Structure 1
Amino acid sequence: MSLQRQTLAAIAAELNRTNQHHGSETLIDLPLGPALYLTDTGVHPDPVQIPDRLPATSVVILRDYDHPEREVLAARLAEMCQRRRLYFFVGGDAALAHRVGAHGVHLPERLIDRLPRLRQTYQTFLFTASCHSARALLRAERLGADAVLLSPVFPTHSHAETFSRPERTLGACRFRTLCRRSNIPVYALGGLNVDTAPRLRQSTLAGLASIRGYEG
């Protein structure tokens, strides 16, 4: 089946199967699935509806850092993910992740340096991190991140200026280069949809992360 005719979740799974590091057990050992959904209530007012459309072992990350009822939303997402056999991460708040029974914590790039201390405290958690450069990717790897979200790959509504200034994106070629250099799993993020995602063939990626791409 042509990748362009599939859903983004199906494309993520296909790219994961065909782009794995040959001879490396890194991706094999990581339990997380290739489809990763990040919440944004400005885009989806009720993000609890989205995980129901994802295949088992997919990943849901609660962003919405300033949500007035973030703990309530986290608890609802945790319950949904448990029922659907999905992995649930809370962005930037390990204590909240622990309270709602999440599988781990997602760290924005500015918080990556907290990772070693957090891992000592929450030894059963998995940790992902956002990275926007080769330097950040290397730092996340050195500090022990289990996986990274590398962005923005393509122009994205989350950073509207990238549509007029595409040089502010990584692009497929640069993403592939950084992905190959990484010794930990890399998820692509930024401007991913059924038209752009197939351009990431041969990039050794772990999967596709998206705010809008898993709507259907």
Structure 2
Amino acid sequence: MLYWLMGLGVVALGGLLLATHLHDRRERREIESSHHEVDELRRACEDDVALLGADVRRHAPLDDLGELLDEAWRGARDLEAEARDLVRSASSPHHFELVTSHLADARQCLSEVQALVLDDTAPGPRPACFFNPNHGPADAHVEWPVASGTVKLPCCVADAHRINSGAEPYARTWRQGDDRVPWWLAGHAVKPWALGWFGRWRGTPHWTAMEQVAEVLVTHEHSDHAAA
């Protein structure tokens, strides 16, 4: 009887040690995966912030063209600085959603600068160009094929012209292994980046169209419902 109980104890201890080992290994893999995601997102956002910085400097007012223009440009400049700081301090994938949200706001400010320089009415809020948000707020729409037919995606004039001419848009690509793919085909890794650019349009016709092309946006909606 004693040996039988000792045997049970050894088996139970072995099972406990195995479960602990598997749990620790799973945790290590999750930590390594999170670190990898953070590194990928940081590199991507650093590129986006650098592009914004170049555009902010390029649109810097050379003369005193009015309070509204100066305010719009300073808004873009300040948002760029905040985004740069956020990229440096981010330690979790979801932190990068705020980075690209700042970039979207900065791009909106720059579009107001351009309008004011041309003496046009400053445009209202618009989604970023779906194909490459670094192109700025969309000022056109284009038909894009999906399984159910086509949808109208917000985009910049240049991408609309290319697509309507039979060419591919200048897509923002994402590293996937040894290749680069359009961001909307990059899967889960791109999720925080994409939500910062486009998440504010959830519940609008723009979002309905975009989620039919970008599966990662659909996945976010489903996870939200599951968590509710």
Output the TM-score relative to the length of structure 2: 0.25
Which structure shows the higher strand fraction?
1
Tell me which structure has the larger Cα radius of gyration.
Answer: 2
Name the one with the larger helix percent.
2
